[in-house]
Structure formats: structure tokens, C-alpha cells
Structure 1
Amino acid sequence: MATARPRLAQLSSLCLSSSRPAPANISARLLSTTPPLTARVVPRIVSKKETLKPKGGSSNPQKNKKKGEETKKKKKKARTTYIQYDQRDADQFSLCDAMRYIRAFEVGQKPTSVKYEMHVKFKSLKNGPVIRNRLRLPHPVKTDVRICVICPPDSKYAKDALSAGATLVGEGDIFEAVKDGRIDFDRCICQTDSLDKMNKAGLGRFLGPKGLMPSTKLGTVVKDPAAMLKDLIGGAEYRERLGVVRMAVGQLGFTPEEMQRNIKAFIDAVKKDMANLSDKINKELAEVVLSSTNAPGFPLNGEFISPDSAITSRDLSTS
């Protein structure tokens, strides 16, 4: 009994302590018997299109297949050749008729200031080799070409170059003038003994962008510059660009006979360049057009004068 009384006293003290008010620092939420509020879930509104069409695309595989075929058809393959037009229905002119119409467009112009220009169009691949060469016409078109010859100034090559018609001859003076921006020449050739000095001078960044830098690949580094000057004076370069070769073939004052000889020499040179290409390269002449500085182009039919022409070659001669 003695041991039971202290235990009863402890139990009574515990009961009294539980009836006391809760401390103020205990949250009312912990004492509340109601369950906590939870977030309300709102259902997502699904559109009509989403209910009909799944997320991955159309539910019809046949329709997807047709769309893929249509997109493949729409994609055009890149052309490997240049666009060609049928010349059978186009107007073509004889040489005398074309010169007559061109002179009508050039009324009032000086005979030496206007140039006849020939355009030769090819049937060729876009990524194929191009034609490039130099030609001296029977009747030179431009005779006032300024030519620079890089060679030892006191050598025999310098004297021969000056007598052959060179405008500038030397080494150091030419190097300094080019670096200062004074490029007073239209062509530049180099003698083989001066090639190392020219390369050390660093003229490539000045003459290269203008297409004047001499190089062995272009044939402008030679042993005897005087021999090459004979071809350069009165000669001209031509190069194929976008399937067309262009070259000045005469002045406005040239006679039809002079034009005929120049055009024949140019066409023969182009055909020779085509023959030198590989047998695997198919390059054909498609069209030959004659134009001038201010006149449009007139396709030529290969005739010198048409049978029903009202003019003669004498009417177009200025001599």
C-alpha cells in the first residue's frame, strides 16, 4: 500500500497537468481536429483539334506518306548545265546587217572610242573546265596598251623591251611605284632573272587583285620579254565566265572585211581551245552574238551579207 500511494499521486498530478490550457506558442493548426485543406484539381480543357489529332501528327499514315512524296517532288535538283534557248525561232543576222544596226545605236560616237564585242556562248557544265587564252587579232583593236617589264635596268633585255614598245622597264623604281599605288600600266611581264626580286618585294598583294601579277602559270614570266611584247601589243585576253567568252573584236570604224577576219580568227582560236580539252569534256558552241558599247546584242547566222540585204559592205566602209 505504501508503494501504491505515491503512484496514485503521480497519476493525479498528470491528470491535473493535462487539464491546463495549452501554451500560446503551440500552433492552432496542430490543436485543430479538422483535416487540412488540399489544393483543388481543375481538369484541363482539351480542344477539339487535340481530341481529333494526336500529338504525334496525323493519325492517317497514308496521308503522311502522300505529303512526304509531294515535298520530294517540290524539291528541284540543282542544274548542272547553263540554261539554253532554242535559236531556231530567234532572229539571226548577217555580219553586215548586225554592223548596220549597231552603228545606228552608236550615232555621234567616235569611231575609235566604241568597240565591237563578240559573245560566244557554250553548252557546257557549270563545274567543268573553262577556256582561257590570249589572241592577237589580224587587225588590233587596242594599240595603246601600257606594258611594264620587270627586268634588270641595265641589261640587254631592258633595251630590247624599250625598243619593242614597253612603257616601264626596271626593278627597284617599279617596286616602289607599285607599293605607293602608282600602277600606270595595263600589262606586266617579268624576266626570269628578276623573278626572285619581284617575289621578295611582295607585289602580289598590289598586283594580284588587279590581275597584273606575273606568273609562270599564266606565261607572263619569260626569258625574252621583247619577243612577248610583239604579241601583247595589239593582243587581248579572253576567258570563259558563266559559259560565255567575251572579247573586243573591232572598233566602230572597222570595215566589214576587217571585222570578218577578226571574228574568224577569234572563233578559230576558241574552237582550238575546245579541242585541247579532255575528250570527256563536252563543250559545244551554242550562240554567237555581236554587240557594242551602247548597242544590244545581235545573234549572227554565219553569213557575211544576206542575199536580200539592201546594203553592201562598201556602204559600211569608212575609208
Structure 2
Amino acid sequence: MANLSPCLAQMSKLSLSAGRQIAHSLPAPFLAPATKRYASNTKEKKPAGNPQKNKQKGVVEKKKKKGRTTYLQYDQKDSEQFSLCDAMRYIRAFEVGQKPTSVKYDVAVKLKSLKNGPVIRNRLRLPHPVSTDVRICVVCPPDSKYAEDALKAGAVLVGEEAIFDAVKDGRIEFDRCICQTDSLAKMNKAQMGRFLGPRGLMPSTKLGTVVKDPALVMKDLIGGAEYRERLGVIRMAIGQLGFTPEEMQRNIKTFIEALRKDINVLSEKINKEMVEVVLSSTHGPGLPLNGTFIDPNSKITPRELSTGA
């Protein structure tokens, strides 16, 4: 019987060599589906568990920034401030060639206050009123004595239903509105607050624009001015270009004293504080005031500012 071991050895070598040739001849994409299937079964692990432990491991979590509850304030120590006479001198240099009665001085008072707190709003008659062409509307019975007296005092509109219809049509041809007490119920029934409220023209007992006799308060309304806090700032026309420094001083002093009284009234609800007072004009820049009338080293005198406008 012949020995079969050499034959078996040769057959095994042939089978191994054939297998190597088949494996080398297979294209690479052939194995790709198998690797993709294997890769799809593996899931990426996400950090979970205690957030403090994640921070220790290096996982950074974003925090929501809290919004500001107060208006942004700037440090006034390093800013240049001016006396009243120096500020008027520079502003008049910007207003060269303008009419003394057409250009106005404005004062802006910046407050330290909360954004969502109550706001300051009031009316003031200055010692030296700023002349303005104010159109006044008086809501009262058209055939009454109040209507006749209001027209003599300078009202441009007097009546009830005619005024209500014009306002609803969008024809608001007045700057101030006074309501006689007998017409207040009709005005509320006509829902005038929807149209006049957003414009700041709705009569109110608190502002003194709902009165028994409108003609008696029209003089103060024409010579007075209304101010209101907006975004932590109160602005008001404080004088005209032809005013003397002494007249401006009296007006600014009266305005600041009125603001202090308004702040004291609100002190129980919210704390407000005046941090900056800026004087400007119609075309001129804003100059911060330091609270003095004239600087000792000033190159101009109040008399020179009084004679030339």
C-alpha cells in the first residue's frame, strides 16, 4: 500500500495557496458593508449624571446671563464738567446766527433707577416760562359757559362729540387736552384713553387736567411744561437762547427742586437718585453741569452773556 502522507501534504499546500489568491483578489469595497454594520451597532456615549462631576471631568456647561435690572451708569469723576456760564458760552458759540427766540435750552437729568419701577411724571411752571405755541383742547359741553371762557383764554378746540370723532379718525390737532369734570364720564365712555393715552394727552386728575373750570388752569398750562422719565432720563425745555444766566439759574434751580420732591414721594416704593445734569440746545452739544454758577477762572462774565445773544 502506497504512503499517502506526501500526497496529503501537497494537497494542503495547494488549498492554502488558492485561499491566499482568492483573498488577495477580493476588492476592498466588498468588506465595507460588514464594517459599516459593525460601526452602526456602536453608540457614542454622552456625559450623564451629576453636573458637578461632569465639571470635574472637563465638561463645560453654558449659563444663562441675567439681564440688568438698572440702567447703565458711568463714572462722572473723570469726565469734564462745566459751570452754568461756561456751558452757556460754548452753546451760544454753536448757535451763532440763530434767533434768540427760536433756539431753546434743554436740560436732561439722568437718574439711578430700576428699569421696571415707577416713573416720575409731573407738570411745572417755571419762573421764566419758555414761550411755545401750545394748542389746547378743552373737552366740555359746547354750549356751556366753560366753552365760552375756554375760547377766550385761547383754546383751539372746544366741545365733546366733535372732538371724539376727530380723535378716532386720527385728527389729533392739539398739544394739550383739558377735560371739564362734567364731561369726564362721556370721555371715558368714548374710550379716548386708547387714542390719547399712548401720546400722553389723556386728561388726568393727578396731572391737574381734569378740572371744574378749564379757563382758570389754561394760563398755567400755557406757561407750564410737562416732564416725564423715559429710560432713566428726564428732559425738559429750560429756557431760550436769549435768556440771561440769572434767568437760566432760577429755572434750573426750580426744576431740580421739583424733581427732588418727586423723588421723595417715590422713596417709599423705590430708590431714585440724580447722577448727572446735562445742558444742551437745539443744535448744540450736551455739556454736563457741575452745579456752580460761574467758575472763578472763567473768561466770560454773566453780564457779557446777558447783553449778547
- Per the alignment, residue 160 of structure 1 pairs with 149
Alignment partner of 1:101 out of 90, 104, 126: 90
How far residue 165 of structure 1 moved from its aligned partner, in angstroms, is 2.8
How far residue 282 of structure 1 moved from its aligned partner, in angstroms, is 1.7
Q: When the two structures are aligned, how many residues end up with a matched partner?
A: 274
- The change in CA–CA distance for 1:148 and 1:113 in structure 2 (over 3 A counts) is same
CA distance in 1, matches of 2:269, 2:124: 26
Q: Which runs of structure 2 are paired with 1:213-232 in the superposition (5 Å)? A: 213-216=202-205, 218-232=207-221
Amino acid at match of 2:271: N
- Per the alignment, residue 190 of structure 1 pairs with 179
- Per the alignment, residue 71 of structure 1 pairs with 62
- Per the alignment, residue 137 of structure 1 pairs with 126
CA distance in 2, matches of 1:46, 1:311: 90
CA distance in 1, matches of 2:213, 2:144: 12
Amino acid at match of 1:130: V
1:43 corresponds to 2:53 = no
How far residue 311 of structure 1 moved from its aligned partner, in angstroms, is 0.5
Give aligned-pair identity as a percent: 76
How far residue 198 of structure 1 moved from its aligned partner, in angstroms, is 2.8
1:212 corresponds to 2:201 = yes
CA contact (8 A) 1:254 1:318 kept: no
CA contact (8 A) 1:145 1:234 kept: no
How far residue 264 of structure 1 moved from its aligned partner, in angstroms, is 0.5
How far residue 231 of structure 1 moved from its aligned partner, in angstroms, is 1.7
CA contact (8 A) 2:123 2:207 kept: no
Amino acid at match of 1:284: E
More helix by share: 2
Runs of 4+ in 1 over 6 A off after TM superposition: none
Tell me whether 294-303 or 160-169 shows the greater mean CA deviation: 160-169
Tell me whether 165-174 or 229-238 shows the greater mean CA deviation: 165-174
CA distance in 1, matches of 2:196, 2:48: 63
- Per the alignment, residue 260 of structure 1 pairs with 249
- The change in CA–CA distance for 1:55 and 1:280 in structure 2 (over 3 A counts) is same
- Which whole-Å deviations, capped at 9, do the CAs of 1:239-262 have from their partners, x for residues lacking one? 111111111101111111111111
- Per the alignment, residue 35 of structure 1 pairs with none
CA contact (8 A) 1:92 1:299 kept: yes
TM-score if structure 2 supplies the norm length?
0.79
CA distance in 2, matches of 1:225, 1:280: 33
CA distance in 1, matches of 2:106, 2:72: 22
CA contact (8 A) 2:122 2:207 kept: no
CA distance in 1, matches of 2:54, 2:118: 44
CA distance in 1, matches of 2:167, 2:115: 36
Amino acid at match of 1:268: E
1:247 corresponds to 2:240 = no
Q: Which runs of structure 2 are paired with 1:254-293 in the superposition (5 Å)? A: 254-279=243-268, 281-293=270-282
Q: Secondary structure at the match of 1:277?
A: helix
1:85 corresponds to 2:74 = yes
- Which whole-Å deviations, capped at 9, do the CAs of 1:223-245 have from their partners, x for residues lacking one? 12122212211111111111111
Which stretches in structure 1 are left out of the alignment for 5+ residues? 1-39
Amino acid at match of 1:87: Q
TM-score if structure 1 supplies the norm length?
0.77
Which one has the largest radius of gyration? 1
